[in-house]
Amino acid sequence: MFEAILFDIDGTLLHTGGAGAVAWQRAFLELYDVEANIEEHTRAGMTDPEIAELVFKEVMGREGSETERAEAIGCYLGHLADAVKESEGYFVIEGIHELLPRLVEQGVLLGIVTGNIEPAAHIKLARGDLDRYFGFGGFGSDSRSRTELTRKAVERGGEAAGRPLDLERTIAVGDTPRDVKAGHGAGIRVVGVATGTYSVKHQREAGADWAISDVTQGFPS
């Protein structure tokens, strides 16, 4: 039925146990000697460039320059591998280890669509041995807009397939209303999973084409 499926990472494929927040906090401590608890200031589904911008506004009390925000993202990335490795709360979400190889066997192209910058995405996926399933994607390093990075993922999927993807046979899977909005903005349907901070009801209200508790329950095929 499907030609390509694009998966969000955090809350959809896995949970890092707060490793991202730890890495951001370490970055701002290193650069500015300030505590930056991003969980108090950000919302699920935000891109890394959006997070950097918001932390400067709400923690530093000023607009960070493009250079400063880029430096903060780079420093965050430098701390992320250790934060992920050390996290006692990291786990791959139920059903993912079974679903991904099954989709590959069916000939479905698998891609990533995430607000993480590309190197951060690979760090998070690697611990769970998930990186090997994904040949392309759209990342926070492509755009601060989830809709635009989703379009980029669709474009790269077409490059991988050797022809433009059929949008009717391409879907995204995500755990936040932002994922649903981005997928629809890119012209594809969306599976909303309640494996993050939003319930099945929230997914339906956001307009998800399928709203399920997790990928073991009614994943479209």
Contacts of 212 (CB under 8 A, 6+ apart): 191, 192, 193, 194, 200, 203, 218, 219
Q: What angle do CA 136, 74, 143 make, to 5 degrees?
A: 45
| pLDDT tens digits, one per residue of 161-187 | 999 999 999 999 999 999 999 999 999
Query: Across residues 36-55, what is the average pLDDT?
Result: 79
| pLDDT tens digits, one per residue of 94-124 | 999 999 999 999 999 999 999 999 999 999 9
Judge residue 179's burial from the number of C-beta atoms within 10 Å of its C-beta, 0-12 exposed, 13-18 middle, 19 or more buried: buried
Among the listed residues 112, 107, 105, the one whose alpha carbon sits nearest the alpha carbon of residue 14: 112
Averaged pLDDT of the chain = 94
Q: Determine the pLDDT at residue 50.
A: 87
Among the listed residues 65, 84, 88, the one whose alpha carbon sits nearest the alpha carbon of residue 123: 84
- Rounded Cα gap, residues 91 and 187, in angstroms: 31
Among the listed residues 170, 171, 169, 179, the one whose alpha carbon sits nearest the alpha carbon of residue 203: 179
SS3 215: coil
Determine phi and psi for 77, rounding to 5 degrees: -60, -35
**pTM score, whole prediction:** 0.94
Domains in the chain (CATH in brackets) are: 4-16+90-212 (3.40.50.1000), 19-86 (1.10.150)
Percent share of the chain, pLDDT over 90 = 83
DSSP 37: -
Determine phi and psi for 176, rounding to 5 degrees: -130, 160
* Alpha helices by DSSP H, 33-140: 48-55, 66-86, 96-105, 118-127
